[in-house]
C-alpha cells in the first residue's frame, strides 16, 4: 500500500472516530432519543377506578373473589365486647400481650433457664389442639409420628430431628426440657425457622403437650394402655381382623 493510500485511510478513520466520540459529549438535543424497546419506555398506565375494557367489570378496580376472606382490624375496646363470641380471640391475644409470666410466654424460669415442665394446665382438649397445629406446621418435616421421617425430610441434607429420641426425652438434658421445645417452636434453632408469627404461646404449649404424647406412645406397649381402651386397639391394629365366615360344606338351599 502506498503512503498516500495509507494516510487517506488514516484520515478517514480519524474522522469516523471524531464523529463517534463527538456524539458522547453529553450535549442535550431537542430530538427524541432512539427507543429500541418502546413498549418498555411507554407502558400502559391504569389509574385507580379508571375505565378498562380488559376486565369484565370495565374498571381497573378488581372485583374480589367471592371466597376471599376479608382481613383488617379497626380499633375497638375488647372489654366492651367481652360477652361476644367473636371477641374472644382478641381478648386472648390482648391478655397475651399484657402478660408478664416468663414461664408461660418465654418458657423460661426466673434465672433465665428453660422450665422443666409445661407451666399451663394440660388437658385432652388442649392436646387435641396441639395435634392439629403439629400436623399443620411440624409434621411436614418431622413426620406425623415425630420421628423425623417424611417425604420432605428425605430431600434435606440436614435431616429434621427425631423427637422420639433421648435428646428430647432424657430429663437430664437441656434439650429435653419443655421450655426448650417451646422456645424452638417459637424462635427456631439452626436450620429450623421460628413460627412465632403463626403459633402463639398457648398453641406452642399445646404442641409441646402433643409431642410428649407422641413420645410416650412411640415407646409404649399394649400393656401401658388402660384396659378400657385396650380392647379397641386390639380390634383395630393390623393383623387382628377375623377371617370372614364361610359356608360349611354341604350347606345352602
CA-CA distances (angstroms) from residue 225 to 123, 201, 219, 229, 232?
18, 31, 12, 7, 11
d(CA 81, CA 17): 81
Domain ranges of the chain: 101-226
Q: At what angle do helices 201-218 and 178-187 cross, to 10 degrees?
A: 120
Residue 207, number of CB atoms within 10 A of its CB: 26
Q: What is the arithmetic mean of pLDDT over 87-93?
A: 82
Q: What is the arithmetic mean of pLDDT over 96-123?
A: 91
For 141-163, the pLDDT digits (tens) are 999 999 988 888 888 888 889 99
What is the structure's pLDDT at 16? Answer: 64
What is the structure's pLDDT at 246? Answer: 46
**Could you tell me which residue, 190 or 3, shows the higher pLDDT?**
190
For the domain bounded by 101-226, which CATH number is listed? 1.10.760.10
Q: Between vectors from CA 251 to CA 247 and to CA 253, what angle results, nearest 5°?
A: 120
**Could you tell me which residue, 14 or 151, shows the higher pLDDT?**
151
Dihedral-angle region of residue 235 (phi above 0 means left; psi in -120 to 50 means alpha; beta otherwise): alpha
Residue 240, number of CB atoms within 10 A of its CB: 9
Of the pLDDT bands very low, low, confident and very high (cuts 50, 70, 90), residue 34 is confident
What is the structure's pLDDT at 115? Answer: 96
What is the structure's pLDDT at 35? Answer: 72
The closest of 88, 87, 105 to 96, measured between CA atoms, is: 105
What is the structure's pLDDT at 251? Answer: 40
* φ, ψ (nearest 5 deg) of residue 116: -75, -35
Residues in contact with 236: Cβ distance below 8 Å, sequence separation at least 6, in sequence order? none
* SS3 per residue for 82-129: CCCHHHHHHHHHHHHHHCCCHHHHCCECCCCCECCCCCCCCCHHHHHH
What is the structure's pLDDT at 196? Answer: 93
Percent of the chain's residues with pLDDT above 90: 37
Give the rounded distance of the alpha carbon of 11 from its chain centre: 70
Of the pLDDT bands very low, low, confident and very high (cuts 50, 70, 90), residue 195 is very high
Asked which of 71-75, 176-180, 248-252 is least confident by mean pLDDT, the reply is 248-252
Q: What is the arithmetic mean of pLDDT over 104-111?
A: 94
* Residue 170, SS3 per DSSP: coil
**Could you tell me which residue, 250 or 179, shows the higher pLDDT?**
179
What is the structure's pLDDT at 68? Answer: 83
Of the pLDDT bands very low, low, confident and very high (cuts 50, 70, 90), residue 223 is confident
Of 35-39, 131-135, 219-223, give the range with the top mean pLDDT: 131-135
Amino acid at each position: 500500500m502506498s503512503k498516500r493510500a495509507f494516510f487517506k485511510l488514516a484520515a478517514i478513520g480519524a474522522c469516523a472516530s471524531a464523529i463517534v466520540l463527538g456524539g458522547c459529549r453529553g450535549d442535550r438535543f431537542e430530538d427524541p432519543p432512539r427507543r429500541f424497546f418502546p413498549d418498555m419506555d411507554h407502558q400502559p398506565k391504569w389509574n385507580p377506578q379508571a375505565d378498562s375494557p380488559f376486565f369484565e367489570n370495565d374498571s381497573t378496580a378488581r372485583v374480589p373473589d367471592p371466597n376471599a376472606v376479608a382481613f383488617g382490624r379497626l380499633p375497638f375496646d375488647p372489654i366492651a365486647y367481652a360477652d361476644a363470641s367473636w371477641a374472644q380471640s382478641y381478648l386472648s391475644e390482648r391478655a397475651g400481650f399484657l402478660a408478664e409470666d416468663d414461664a408461660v410466654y418465654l418458657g423460661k424460669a426466673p434465672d433465665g433457664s428453660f422450665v422443666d415442665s409445661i407451666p399451663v394446665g394440660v388437658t385432652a382438649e388442649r392436646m387435641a389442639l396441639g395435634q392439629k397445629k403439629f400436623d399443620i406446621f411440624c409434621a411436614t418435616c418431622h413426620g406425623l409420628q415425630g420421628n423425623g421421617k417424611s417425604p420432605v425430610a428425605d430431600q434435606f441434607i440436614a435431616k429434621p430431628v427425631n423427637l422420639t429420641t433421648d435428646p428430647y426425652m432424657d430429663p437430664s438434658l437441656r434439650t429435653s426440657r419443655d421450655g426448650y421445645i417451646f422456645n424452638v417452636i417459637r424462635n427456631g434453632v439452626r436450620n429450623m425457622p421460628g413460627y412465632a408469627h403463626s403459633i402463639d404461646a398457648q398453641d406452642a404449649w399445646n404442641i409441646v403437650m402433643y409431642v410428649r404424647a407422641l413420645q410416650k406412645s412411640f415407646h409404649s406397649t399394649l400393656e401401658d394402655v388402660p384396659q378400657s381402651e385396650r380392647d379397641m386397639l386390639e380390634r383395630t391394629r393390623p393383623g387382628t381382623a377375623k377371617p370372614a365366615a364361610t359356608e360349611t360344606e354341604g350347606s345352602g338351599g
